[in-house]
């Protein structure tokens, strides 16, 4: 079994499910009545837990004290409408890149651009390992040209489009929501489904992509599997994990 190492910053996702039966008398806002609170690992730790749900050979390098970094979403219990999100203002220290072990078959960079990894850090990993998958919130540039594959969503692609060098074009897997994904000019569609929650869908796609590629060494099979997994995840409330069909 091939071994996967995930590198990236993590947080704790908190979903507070509420009822909202009336407006406040003094402000034009709903009064929330809390029903339940659900917590789970977020960002890179969410990629890890997705991978580990179907594939055990996975380790992670992430920030210490990640549970203190929180994203709290207040959601309507019935409709799943989001009222607001409250994030902690928490500094995530930069990783010591030279201490990251490279004796893995695949290194997966799950970069939320919160300071844990710089462009130079990611470039270092890509230069020193031949099988690096990058999922990043950074604007793409020459620093990523040694990556094996780059997974970004359509918003991130449009933001990076003007700066993407030709050396990256054939490495980019672009996810496009209900349109599926594209890679090297080819579209990989998905079936139409009822979307309940997009939270964590990108992490689930990335995790499934890693697992299937580790098993098959075939990126097309990996994209198709990732599409199926992400489509199932968005039909569930909150942040869920991928499963074998």
Lowest mean pLDDT among 41-45, 161-165, 183-187, 212-216: 161-165
Tell me how far apart the alpha carbons of residues 203 and 47 are, in angstroms, rounded to a whole number: 5
Mean pLDDT of 165-194: 94
List the structure tokens of 231.
């489509």
In a domain, 165, yes or no: yes
Flag whether pLDDT at 238 surpasses 80.
no
Q: First and final CA of the chain: distance in angstroms?
A: 20
In a domain, 16, yes or no: no
In a domain, 65, yes or no: yes
With residue 132 as reference, give the H or E element that holds it: strand 132-136
Flag whether pLDDT at 217 surpasses 70.
yes
In a domain, 89, yes or no: no
* Contact by Cβ (8 Å): 193, 209: no
Q: What pLDDT does residue 160 have? A: 92
Flag whether pLDDT at 63 surpasses 80.
yes
Q: What percent of the chain has a predicted confidence (pLDDT) above 90? A: 83
In a domain, 168, yes or no: yes
In a domain, 136, yes or no: yes
In a domain, 120, yes or no: yes
Domain boundaries, position 50: 4-11+42-69+95-233
Cβ neighbors of 49 (< 8 A, separation 6 or more) are 40, 41, 241
Lowest mean pLDDT among 44-53, 55-64, 82-91: 82-91
In a domain, 17, yes or no: no
Q: What pLDDT does residue 191 have? A: 86
Lowest mean pLDDT among 63-67, 184-188, 224-228, 239-243: 239-243
Tens digit of each residue's pLDDT (9 = 90 or more) over 101-144: 999 999 999 999 999 999 999 999 999 999 999 999 999 999 99
* Contact by Cβ (8 Å): 151, 109: no
Q: What pLDDT does residue 244 have? A: 80
Degrees to nearest 5, angle at CA 211 with 68 and 128: 75
Q: How confident is the model at residue 237 (pLDDT cuts 50, 70, 90)?
A: confident
CATH of the domain at 201: 3.40.1190.20
Mean pLDDT of 140-153: 97
Tens digit of each residue's pLDDT (9 = 90 or more) over 187-209: 999 988 887 777 778 999 999 99
Q: What pLDDT does residue 240 have? A: 77
Tens digit of each residue's pLDDT (9 = 90 or more) over 7-38: 999 999 999 999 999 999 999 999 999 999 99
Taking all residues of the chain, what is their mean pLDDT, rounded to a whole number? 94
Q: What pLDDT does residue 235 have? A: 82
Number of folded domains that form the chain = 1
Q: What is the pTM of this model?
A: 0.93
Q: What pLDDT does residue 245 have? A: 67
């Amino acid at each position: 079994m091939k071994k996967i190492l995930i590198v990236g910053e993590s947080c704790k996702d908190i979903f507070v499910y509420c009822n909202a039966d009336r407006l406040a008398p003094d402000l034009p806002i709903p009064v929330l009545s809390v029903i339940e609170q659900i917590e789970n690992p977020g960002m890179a730790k969410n990629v890890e837990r997705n991978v580990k749900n179907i594939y055990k050979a996975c380790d992670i390098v992430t920030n210490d004290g990640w549970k203190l970094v929180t994203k709290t979403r207040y959601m309507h219990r019935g409709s799943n409408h989001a009222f607001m999100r409250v994030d902690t203002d928490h500094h995530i220290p930069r990783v010591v890149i030279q201490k990251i072990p490279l004796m893995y078959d695949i290194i997966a960079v799950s970069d939320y651009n919160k300071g844990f990894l710089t462009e130079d850090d990611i470039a270092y990993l890509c230069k020193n390992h031949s099988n690096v998958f990058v999922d990043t919130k950074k604007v793409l540039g020459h620093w990523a040209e040694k990556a094996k594959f780059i997974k970004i969503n359509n918003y991130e692609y449009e933001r990076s489009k003007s700066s993407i060098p030709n050396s990256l074009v054939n490495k980019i897997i672009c996810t496009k929501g209900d349109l599926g994904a594209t890679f090297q000019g080819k579209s990989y569609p998905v079936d139409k489904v009822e979307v309940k929650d997009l939270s964590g869908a990108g992490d689930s796609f990335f995790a499934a992509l890693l697992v299937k590629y580790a098993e098959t060494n075939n990126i097309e099979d990996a994209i198709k599997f990732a599409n199926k997994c992400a489509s199932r995840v968005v039909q569930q409330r909150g942040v869920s994990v991928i499963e074998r069909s």
